[in-house]
Chains A and B, each alone.
Chain A
Amino acid sequence: MSGIFTKSMARNIFYGGTVFFFLLLLALTFDTNKTLPKLDNSANLTPQVIAGKKVWETRNCIGCHTLLGEGAYFAPELGNVYKRRGPEFIKAWIQSQPTGAPGRRQMPQFNLTNEELDNLVAFLKYSSEINAANWPPNIEG
């Protein structure tokens, strides 16, 4: 870099650029929050869904699964599992874990109550109805 471009110029561009783009991020965030109700299915955020989210979190499901593509990549995507499998299958599946099939990946038994299972399914139903721009590409997730 030539002698014309000095350190203090570089520093000023850094502070100016950072402030400008951080403000732009805040503006986009503000607009996103305004637009979200049309996309985020928050109208269906019932107490049951909220309780289901807590079940999801306190069993650390994200440690194996993905939800809307985020999480670990060890076990299937669950953002659309409600549509892929339906409520009864999901409950039966969770209750029958672990499969114990030798050499296969195993899911722990969480001993969820019927109410907790229903809450979790409600949460997964709510998640599957978020407008995620047609992701995932197909039902397999």
Chain B
Amino acid sequence: MQYKSQAVAKPYFIAAIGLFVGQILFGLIMGLQYVIGDFLFPALPFNIARMVHTNLLIVWLLFGFMGSAYYLIPEETETELYSPKLALVLFWIFLIAGALTIVGYLALPYATLAKLTGNDILETMGREFLEQPLITKIGIVIVALGFLFNISMTLLKGRKTSISLVLIVGLWGLAIFFLFSFYNPHNLVKDKFYWWWVVHLWVEGVWELILGALLAYVLIKVTGVDREVIEKWLYVIITLALVTGLIGTGHHYYWIGTPQYWQWWGSIFSALEPLPFFAMTVFAFNMVNRRRREHPNKAAVLWALGTGVMAFLGAGVWGFLHTLAPVNFYTHGSQITAAHGHMAFYGAYVMVVLTVISYAMPILRGRAANSERSQVVEMWSFWLMTVAMVFIVLFLTAAGILQVWLQRVSDTPMSFMATQDQISLFYWMREWAGVVFFTGLVLYIVSFFVKGETKGANA
């Protein structure tokens, strides 16, 4: 570790992994509720489990992004963090607030939680992914502002690299677009329209800047390729991301009461959204092929390459699959959407955070890379989780195609629930793939505790 203050990243990474485990456990519960409808009912209705599943995902990715920023910003700017103490204080605030929110979801009826937490003052709750109570939302803004202040002050006093600039633009964008979560007009169409300004402009906009910057940073470290080359690629990738993704927002505006010209704007621009992900894959493989050093951390290289491939498949290919308006007319809000969501989030954001953790955690623990044995376990976990995710997505896609056919295309359309009965076989297979995913995750955690001879003190 070059800078002492980088150490604050460690608790962020540990919390991220802990919450990841929670997310997957709730995912398994929901997967079972898909086929055994009354499983854990009424103690844990599906809507509550789903809220916990998706909110944990968002929160642990935010922990991952913040930890990554605290780790790489001192190295990039060549100066200690502005305030490591602030970073630690914010860590505990975020963790406790997050935990209390989850406890609130699980222990109280949602309507009661809303009443107790000021939803009557400003109604923001009950919208997908933005279910957090008002006080939690305000807490997120406070933590984000403190974090951005800390990172920005560090950048101001240090070296300004393209990677750190792109990262910081992405993180500021993340905070700014979250403010739309406080805007909930009575008009349902407007509500939905601006809801996407958080959700789409996060995951298909500013988060891609964060993703690109983190990947570029790790690739510089593990390949030793010239910074000028890598940063040029980074700019090309994020240009493609925003040029396609900003107007690509339109692919959410086909069927929610917005003008029909969005079918053209959305189809054309979002059809181009695979390009940045394709560029990212080419980028990752190119840089690793042109490597000037053999980094002892093979696992981190594997995660970096995996991010490129899986982000392209999940966000790019599976996104394209249902993004054209005439196709989306049939697939909108079906299991196809769920399939895409799973692989895109895993391939792009889960994997990039695990890439940074894989690279940084050994160094935070005082070695350039983990022992061979530990890396072998970690690479097993990579393959188990990644292959399991591929199967989860294939099964959900099969379920989705059948669902669309039976319920929406057929001459004698079935009702929603009758259709669900017909496709339950695929839900069962998805659940088993989920169990394999969880096994991979357990192995991932085990890899942190596998001892063995380590090479190099500090890289």
Could you tell me if A10 and B42 are in contact, using CB atoms closer than 8 angstroms?
no
Could you tell me if A39 and B126 are in contact, using CB atoms closer than 8 angstroms?
no
B371 an interface residue at 8 Å Cβ cutoff? Answer: no
Could you tell me if A133 and B254 are in contact, using CB atoms closer than 8 angstroms?
yes
Q: A59-B111, A133-B263 are in contact. Are A7 and B255 (CB under 8 A)?
A: no
Count how many pairs of residues, one from A and one from B, have CB atoms less than 8 Å apart in the complex.
222
Could you tell me if B50 and A57 are in contact, using CB atoms closer than 8 angstroms?
no
Cβ distance A31 to chain B, nearest Cβ, rounded Å: 7
Specify which of B33, B236, B330 lies most central, judged by the most chain A CB atoms within 10 Å of its CB: B236
B34 an interface residue at 8 Å Cβ cutoff? Answer: yes
Residues of chain A lying within 8 A (CB to CB) of residue B106:
none
Residues of chain A lying within 8 A (CB to CB) of residue B11:
none
Q: Which residue of A lies closest to B252 (CB)?
A: A70
- A28-62, CB < 8 A from B: 28-29, 31-33, 35-36, 39-42, 45, 49-50, 53-54, 56-62
Residues of chain B lying within 8 A (CB to CB) of residue A40:
187-190, 257
B119 an interface residue at 8 Å Cβ cutoff? Answer: yes
Cβ distance B415 to chain A, nearest Cβ, rounded Å: 5
Residues of chain A lying within 8 A (CB to CB) of residue B335:
73
Question: CA–CA, A97 to B152, complex, Å?
Answer: 52
Cβ distance B258 to chain A, nearest Cβ, rounded Å: 6
B159 an interface residue at 8 Å Cβ cutoff? Answer: no
Residues of chain B lying within 8 A (CB to CB) of residue A141:
407, 416
Q: Which residue of A lies closest to B110 (CB)?
A: A60
Q: A7-B231, A21-B243 are in contact. Are A39 and B50 (CB under 8 A)?
A: no
Q: Which residue of A lies closest to B195 (CB)?
A: A70
B193 an interface residue at 8 Å Cβ cutoff? Answer: yes
Could you tell me if B47 and A10 are in contact, using CB atoms closer than 8 angstroms?
no
Q: Which residue of A lies closest to B259 (CB)?
A: A35
Could you tell me if A137 and B329 are in contact, using CB atoms closer than 8 angstroms?
yes
Question: CA–CA, A129 to B132, complex, Å?
Answer: 29
- B178-207, CB < 8 A from A: 186-190, 192-193
A86 an interface residue at 8 Å Cβ cutoff? Answer: no
Question: CA–CA, A76 to B403, complex, Å?
Answer: 12
Question: CA–CA, A10 to B165, complex, Å?
Answer: 14
Could you tell me if A60 and B131 are in contact, using CB atoms closer than 8 angstroms?
yes
Residues of chain A lying within 8 A (CB to CB) of residue B338:
73
- A79-116, CB < 8 A from B: 98, 100-108, 110
Could you tell me if A10 and B334 are in contact, using CB atoms closer than 8 angstroms?
no
Residues of chain B lying within 8 A (CB to CB) of residue A104:
37-38
B: residues with CB less than 8 A from A are: 30, 33-34, 36-38, 41-42, 45-48, 50-51, 110-111, 114-115, 119, 123, 125-128, 131, 162, 186-190, 192-193, 228-229, 231-233, 235-236, 238-239, 242-243, 246-247, 249-250, 253-260, 262-263, 265, 329-330, 332-335, 337-338, 407-409, 413-417, 420
| 23 residue pairs from A and B, CB less than 8 Å apart | A14-B238, A22-B246, A41-B257, A60-B51, A60-B126, A62-B126, A66-B333, A71-B128, A71-B333, A73-B337, A74-B34, A75-B46, A76-B415, A98-B41, A104-B37, A105-B420, A106-B37, A106-B38, A108-B42, A135-B254, A135-B332, A136-B332, A136-B408
A71-B333, A73-B337 known; 16 new pairs, CB 8 Å cut-off, are A1-B236, A7-B162, A7-B235, A18-B239, A21-B242, A32-B262, A39-B257, A39-B258, A60-B51, A60-B126, A73-B335, A73-B338, A105-B46, A133-B254, A139-B413, A141-B407
